[in-house]
Amino acid sequence: MNVLEKEVNQEETQKHTMTKLAIICSKGSLDMAYPGLILANAARMCGVEATLFFTFWGLDIVNKKKIDHLHLTFVGNPSVPVPAMIAGLPGMEGIATTMMKREMEKLDIPSIREMLEILDDAGAEMYGCQMAMDMFKLEKDDLVPQVKEIITAMDFMDLAADAQIIFI
């Protein structure tokens, strides 16, 4: 067996060692919603259990009133290719959000609402954070139906036992 074959065999073995992924979604901007949803979808496509826990501003991702109105985080984002003075001008976040959504449509990337439906259909489990729900005075009915239930952080830790945990 040559070195390359040995590396490929090791990669195949490592590829199948993860069985559970738990993602904590703590930010509710458009650019921070997609990473967690895409990773959860990739996990499900690989046969890995995926659990998403929406807390603090991450609840905006699953909030019925806010889900279709998420926008980019423009101010304070060091990766934005425009000077901070310009990024802070009124309307800049809206313009950037519209441009990003157009590019995503060209690539046939599903909307946040569609991603949640895809994840639910694929068997991913989604939960809201009890403390954040209480803090923002939200009820389960304020969230999209894909959110299975509202749980505490301790409940999430039980669900995430033996999982790779990603915090976004």
User: What CATH number has the domain bearing residue 126?
Assistant: 3.40.1260.10
In a domain, 107, yes or no: no
In a domain, 2, yes or no: no
Residue 103 has pLDDT above 70, yes or no: yes
pLDDT at 41: 96
Nearest to 124 by CA among 35, 28, 34, 52: 52
Residue 7 lies in a domain: no
Pick from 57, 38, 46, 67: nearest CA to 143: 67
Where is average pLDDT lowest: 23-37, 87-101, 106-120, 126-140? 87-101
pLDDT band at 2 (very low <50, low <70, confident <90, very high): very low
- Segments forming the whole domain that contains residue 47: 19-71+112-167
What percentage of the chain reaches a pLDDT higher than 70? 83
Supply the pTM of this predicted model.
0.84
| Angle (CA) 127 59 136, round 5° | 110
| 85 within some domain | no
How far is C-alpha 64 from the chain's CA centre? 16
Is 11 inside a domain boundary? Answer: no
Q: Running DSSP on this structure, what letter comes out for residue 51?
A: E
Ramachandran sector of residue 162 (left: φ over 0; alpha: ψ -120 to 50; beta: rest): left
The answer to whether residue 48 is domain-embedded is yes
Q: Is 148 among the domain residues?
A: yes
The whole-angstrom separation of Cα 27 and Cα 40 is 16
pLDDT reading at 121 higher than 60: yes
With b meaning 16 or more CB within 10 Å and e meaning fewer, what string describes 54-93?
A: bbbbbbbbbbeeebeebbbbbeeeeebeeeeeebeeeebb
Q: In what order do the strands lie in the sheet with 49-54?
A: 147-151, 125-129, 49-54, 20-25, 164-167
Total structural domains within the chain: 1
Residue corresponding to tokens 């806010």: 66
What confidence tens digit (pLDDT) does each residue in 27-59 have? 999 999 999 999 999 999 999 999 999 999 999
Task: Let me know: does 150 contact 130? Beta carbons within 8 Å.
Answer: yes
For residue 124, is it within any domain?
Answer: yes
8 Å CB contact between 51 and 24: no
